[in-house]
Amino acid sequence: MAFLCLFTILLAGFLPSSQLVIAQLLHDEKTLLAIGNELGLSGWGLNNSCYCSWPGIGCGSNNSMIEKLDLSRRGLQAFGNLSELEFLDLSSNKFGSSIPTELGRLRNLRSLNLSNNWLTGAIPDELEGLKKLQHFQIFTNRLSGSIPIWVGNLTNLRAFTTYENEFGGEIPDNLGSVSELELLNLHSNQLEGLIPESIFALGKLRVLVLTQNKLSGNLPEIVGNCKGLSSIRIGNNEFIGSIPKAIGNLSSLTYFEADNNYLSGEIIPEFAQCSNLSLLNLASNGFTGTIPPELGQLANLQELIVSGNSLFGEIPASILRCRNLSKLDLRNNRFNGTIPADICNTSRLQYLLLGQNSIRGEIPHEIGNCLKLLELQMGSNYLIGSIPPEIGHIKNLQIALNLSFNHLHGPLPHELGRLDKLVSMDVSNNHLSGDIPSTFKGMLSLIEVDFSNNLFTGPIPTFVPFQNSPNSSFWGNKGLRGEPLIASCVNAKGADSKNYHHRVSYRIILAVIASGLVVFVSVTVVVLLVMMRERREKSAKAVEITDDGTDNRPMIITGNVFVENLRQAIDFDAVVKAILKESNKLSSGTFSTIYKVVMPSGMTLSVKRVKSMDRTIIHHQNKMIRELERLSKLCHDNLMKLIGFLIYEDVALLLHQYLPNGTLAQFLHDSTMLPEYKPDWPTRLTIAIGVAEGLAFLHHVAIIHLDISSGNVLLDANFKPLVGEVEISKLLDPSRGTASISAVAGSFDYIPPEYAYTNASYSTGKYL
């Protein structure tokens, strides 16, 4: 009843006449007292004080008319209008309905903030009358529909922020009529179509944020007319074509982000004319050519991110003249040449990311001059020589040191043991030799190590980071011995035992290979020719028919089976065909759908189809595959083992062992539905302990499981719990709105451990 009375008071009309000011003031005070009583607001109505002094209330300088009402973070459940109100902040409450049409009565409003609520529905047309509105903030809600055309008639509007909603349709062309507009942020919606050219006619526009939508087309040349632009963020859309050279006219430009699009051509040298540019992000596009040397003129450049393109040439020496450069990300391109000796001329460099290129030569000893480096990525290149001991001088190195998949040789420098802040170290797949230095015991922050596939000898150190690492971190080193190699997974033990009892003389093997080489090559050529002819004939006759009767057989992009002895038993085509059948679906969760798939070989798999992957598959395919390969190496009795993966079109499939006992949720549900099926408490306790051990192992390798629940814990034939959904946090794109779990669980980057422990503890408590 109290709520109804308050709602009636708040929606009542107010006397607008200036001749009835006293009546207006009394009415305003009565309304505020009703609000205060309903919400239990402290400080309202005490000691007969003037309401202009109450918390959150602002009055005019020449009268006692209420001009400001700030009820943010008050848990407000109802609201009203005050006829002279100019500022209304209702942010961070629990509104769960649509925007009230009554707000349209507030004709004097200059600022309306409804952000961080649960508002749904469209923006009501009644707000069109708020002609004095200067700041319109409705971000982080669940609003939908299209952006109303009448927003373009709010000629006094200076800031319009709708980010993190579900708006669709096109951006209204008449937004270009809002001549006072300085900030336009439409980030993370479902907007489509082109950017209206009229937007770039706004002379006062400073910040334009259109990231994470479905916008397409070319960037218009007219962008150069918007002289005041300091920030352009258009990443994660579907833009095509080249970047217009008119960008060079934007002398005030500070940030330019266009990552994860379909842009092509060369990186334009006109960026060098934007003298204030501090961030240039062109990652995950189709750019070719070299990095323009003119970019070295950007004295204020702090971050250059061009990863995931097809750029080539040497690392431009001119870029190293950017004294303020803190991040240089050239990963996943085709850069060649050598690493310049003056790579650390910029003393502020914190991120040097050169992995997945064709860089050759030795790592320069001058790398030790990068004293502020937090992350050093040089994996998957053609580097030779030894690891410079000077890397041990980089005391701030914290996130990762990755030198894997190169041709490095020699021992590990003892100086690396000085890196006491380092979290992840990967030197796998090189020709490194010798013992693992005892000085590494000083690396107290180390969580993940990978020394596999080298020539290391001697005992594995007994330091905690090494003993807690999976055995796969040391595979491929014949001279290494000790834990955790001894405590390998069951499959690995069986394979090693079998190989031990069936060794064959190397001379016999070489003799057989030499005598059969010619025959083998001849037969292989003939077989390949026959297979190619049969494939052409099959593709010309028919394709796989799906359940809906169409002839659109999904195109398999890539895939891999990590368990070698299962590769012959798994048929990718059969997997894709099986998940198209609704009858094979087992369950559907927040991030994935699970299918039961029986292979032609008779093997049964549990196949997880990851939801909402869309264009992330295309842009981050290599990164995703590397993450899955790492996750497949995790070895623990209470973790669900990743057998393999498959990517077709825009769908990612994860392959696991099929467990007939299902999930813990099903186990508990069955116990309540079937009286005769009552799991005893010792079994429940064993399950709880197993889940805790699985989570503890994940924390040791810096992986946070943010979705632990009874539905993500599976039970084997002996009711041993296996924690699942570990891969999901690694596959979600951190740039994709609210589902950015991987923003926390990143690629083995440093994560404050207290976040993992508190979150996992809470989630574990929920399922317990």
CA 699 vs CA 483, 705, 729: distances in Å: 20, 9, 13
Q: For residue 417, report the phi and psi dihedrals to the nearest 5 degrees.
A: -65, -10
Whether a cis peptide bond, with omega within 30° of 0, leads into 465 is: no
Residue 707 known to be catalytic: yes
**3-state per-residue secondary structure call for 386-413:** CCCHHHHHCCCCCCEEECCCCCCEEECC
Q: Where are the beta strands (DSSP E) in 178-307?
A: 183-185, 192-193, 207-209, 214-217, 231-233, 238-241, 255-257, 262-266, 279-281, 286-289, 303-305
Where does 542-652 have alpha helices with state H? 572-579, 616-619, 621-632
Q: Six-digit token pair at 668?
A: 């508990």
- One-letter amino acid identity for 416? L
Q: For residue 158, report the phi and psi dihedrals to the nearest 5 degrees.
A: -110, -30
The three-state secondary structure class of 124 is coil
Q: For residue 712, report the phi and psi dihedrals to the nearest 5 degrees.
A: -105, 10
Q: For residue 522, report the phi and psi dihedrals to the nearest 5 degrees.
A: -65, -50
In what side-by-side order are the strands of the sheet with 479-481?
409-411, 431-434, 455-459, 479-481
Among 192, 265, 279, residue whose Cα is nearest residue 232 = 279
Q: Which residues contact 374 (CB under 8 A, 6 or more apart)?
A: 350, 351, 396, 397, 398, 399
| Catalytic residue (one of 707, 716, 733, 749) | 707
Q: Six-digit token pair at 228?
A: 């005041």
* 523 class by beta-carbon count within 10 Å (0-12 exposed, 13-18 middle, 19+ buried): exposed
d(C-alpha 88, C-alpha 111), whole Å: 6
Paired with 311 in beta bridges are 289
- One-letter amino acid identity for 158? R
d(C-alpha 590, C-alpha 587), whole Å: 10
Among 605, 563, 384, residue whose Cα is nearest residue 472 = 563
d(C-alpha 319, C-alpha 224), whole Å: 25
Among 182, 249, 191, 188, residue whose Cα is nearest residue 220 = 249
Q: Could you tell me how many helices (H) and strands (E) the chain has, helices first?
A: 12, 41
d(C-alpha 474, C-alpha 458), whole Å: 12
d(C-alpha 454, C-alpha 426), whole Å: 12
Q: Which residues contact 294 (CB under 8 A, 6 or more apart)?
A: 269, 271, 272, 318
Q: Beta 604-610 vs 651-657: how paired, if at all?
A: antiparallel
Q: What is the largest CA-CA distance in the chain?
A: 111
Would you say the C-alpha torsion 742, 745, 747, 752 has a positive or negative sign? positive
Q: For residue 249, report the phi and psi dihedrals to the nearest 5 degrees.
A: -80, -10
Q: Beta 382-384 vs 409-411: how paired, if at all?
A: unpaired
Paired with 160 in beta bridges are 136, 184
- One-letter amino acid identity for 192? E
Side-chain-facing half-sphere of 145: CA atoms under 13 Å = 14
Q: Are 261 and 283 in contact (CB under 8 A)?
A: no
Active-site residues, by number, are: 707
